[in-house]
Structure 1
């Protein structure tokens, strides 16, 4: 079962598509452009519709989702971490 989606292998995050994901779950994602599946162990509970890191990110790195720059990290983020307003901010202000 696919539990998150990624547009392209160059993206740094995927989007969770199911409910009930808990820390330490290993979940399966689909990278659409390359039509491949990847498995990632998540580090926190992640709600449906939220993002998870599929690559390690350093503070001030650009976050790419669906091939688009969606902001910058404000903390170091590891593969499997939950990304949301607590660790990603817009570049607009």
Structure 2
């Protein structure tokens, strides 16, 4: 069976699609030594992210064990995570 997605750190709350994944597809996603079944809710293009669990508005998005942004709305488990529901924090400067 081909690997369809990747999660590189146990803290991640998103996985990255390694192929185009059709909505309604149930995947076996490996997170460390654990395997979880996730049904994607929409089509996930190659290289895009989908949520491994529900992520509340304002919560951080973790990829590779690092915060890459914040949820701008509730993101459901299996939902496409992209610019429509993710605010990137890359390159933002905070004054202090």
TM-score of Structure 1 vs Structure 2, range by shorter chain: 0.7 to 0.9
Alignment length, in residue pairs?
Answer: 90
Q: Which residue of 1 aligns with 2:47?
A: 49
Q: CA deviation at 1:52?
A: 0.5
Larger radius of gyration: 2
TM-score under structure 2 length normalisation: 0.85
Encode CA deviations 1:43-68: one digit per residue, 9 max, x unaligned: 00100000000021011110000101
Structure 1 residue runs of 4+, over 4 Å off?
none
Q: Unpaired segments of 5 or more residues in structure 2?
A: none
In the alignment, structure 1 segments of 5+ residues that lack a partner are none
- Per-residue deviation at 1:22? 1.2
> Does the aligned pair in 2 maintain the 1:16–1:46 contact within 8 Å?
yes
Instruction: Indicate the RMSD between aligned Cα atoms, in angstroms.
Output: 1.4
